[in-house]
Amino acid sequence: MELMKDMTLGQAKAEAVRRWGASAAIDFHPPRVERMSRGRLARYSHIVGNGASGRRASVEGQGHTWREAFANARPR
C-alpha cells in the first residue's frame, strides 16, 4: 500500500476554504527539535476549522498531518 503524501500549506488552505468558505482557518505549529518525544497530551501540529478572524470555531480538527486534521474535523 502506497502512503498518500500530505497536503502543502496552500492545498490545506484551499481545502479549508472549500469546506467552510471565508471563515476557514488553518494553523501549523512545527514540533520543537529539542522535544522529539512530545507525550500523549502534546498539542497537534496541524489544526483546521472555521474560526478565522478571531471567531470561535464551531468546527475544528487536529492531527499530525493536514489530512489527519481534516479527517478529524467535527462540530465542537
Q: pLDDT tens, 39-54?
A: 665 678 999 999 876 6
User: Is 2 a domain residue?
Assistant: no
57 or 15: which leads in pLDDT: 15
User: What share of the chain in percent tops pLDDT 70?
Assistant: 78
pLDDT in tens, 27-39: 998 877 665 565 6
Q: Does residue 25 form part of some domain? A: yes
Number of structural domains in the chain: 1
Task: Answer whether 58's CB lies under 8 Å from 74's CB.
Answer: no
C-alpha cell at 57: 470555531
What are the b/e assignments for 21-45, b being 16+ CB within 10 Å?
eebbbbeeeeeeeeeeeeeeeeebb
Classify residue 58: in a domain, yes or no.
yes
* pTM for the whole structure: 0.77
Task: Answer whether residue 65 is part of any domain.
Answer: yes
Structural domain range at position 23: 9-30+42-75
